[in-house]
């Protein structure tokens, strides 16, 4: 497949300088040499990249196989380069491999059945945990379920609450209830976009005494 790919590239005028060979298992040196021979690139330009446990290990894997050094020489930048310090990067990898104390964060949303809708929030939480040596455990809480079963059952055991973005009136009251529960029980709360908007509504209703406070997005006559 590698040989065919290179041939297709060459047919449209592109000749590779480097071939990064992906595999789930270690690629022996003789196979890398064979790829180099049949694809007409130097042996040091064939970089084996096997599947890693942690995505962040990939740059170090590339470095270990000399990709950085090869690129520097290929671009004639050797006299401008310095040694690479990977210590901070290694700290991230160590944090992923050895998670610290668990922290349970409730993510209260209206699209919980489609978790990819919140993938950026999920990853942000996970990386915030890595920074502080904490293992983030996300509790996926549907805001409509709060409206149906009550907030205590779903949020009494969490260490923090995040209400992310969204649109439309469905599940809004459940999110407002989550914000109220966080405020009244001194639970850290992060409102993102809609989540911030609903926190303001909750405060207006239950702290400022504006009991009918709302957003015109949900109540045009508010």
pLDDT in tens, 94-125: 999 998 999 999 999 999 998 899 999 999 99
Q: How confident is the model at residue 1 (pLDDT cuts 50, 70, 90)?
A: confident
CA triple 188-193-195, angle to 5 deg: 45
pLDDT value for 115: 86
pLDDT value for 222: 87
pLDDT in tens, 145-168: 999 999 999 999 999 999 999 988
pLDDT value for 81: 83
pLDDT in tens, 124-150: 999 999 999 999 999 999 999 999 999
pLDDT in tens, 47-85: 999 999 999 999 999 999 999 999 999 999 988 888 889
Mean pLDDT of 194-215: 96
pLDDT value for 174: 96
Q: Of 156, 158, 99, 91, nearest to 126 (Cα)?
A: 99
Q: How confident is the model at residue 207 (pLDDT cuts 50, 70, 90)?
A: very high
pLDDT value for 120: 96
pLDDT value for 204: 97
pLDDT in tens, 26-55: 999 999 999 999 999 999 999 999 999 999
pLDDT value for 84: 85
- The pTM score is 0.79
């Amino acid at each position: 497949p590698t040989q065919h790919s290179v041939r297709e590239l060459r047919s449209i005028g592109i000749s590779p300088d480097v071939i990064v060979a992906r595999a789930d298992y270690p690629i022996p040196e003789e196979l890398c040499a064979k790829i180099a021979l049949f694809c007409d690139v130097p042996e040091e330009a064939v970089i084996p990249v096997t599947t890693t446990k942690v995505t962040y290990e990939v740059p170090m894997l590339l470095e270990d196989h000399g990709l950085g050094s090869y690129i520097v020489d290929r671009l004639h930048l050797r006299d401008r380069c310095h040694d690479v310090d990977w210590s901070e990067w290694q700290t991230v990898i160590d944090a992923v491999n050895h998670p610290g104390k668990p922290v349970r964060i409730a993510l209260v949303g209206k699209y919980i059945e489609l978790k990819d809708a919140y993938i950026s929030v999920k990853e942000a939480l996970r990386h915030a945990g890595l920074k502080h040596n904490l293992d983030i455990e996300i509790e996926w809480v549907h805001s409509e379920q709060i409206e149906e079963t009550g907030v205590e059952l779903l949020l009494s055991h969490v260490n923090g609450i995040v209400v992310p973005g969204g649109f439309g009136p469905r599940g809004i009251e459940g999110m407002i209830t989550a914000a109220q529960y966080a405020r009244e029980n001194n639970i850290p709360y992060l409102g993102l976009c809609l989540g911030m908007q609903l926190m303001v509504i909750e405060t207006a209703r239950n702290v400022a005494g504006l009991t009918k406070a709302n957003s015109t997005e949900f109540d045009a006559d508010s």
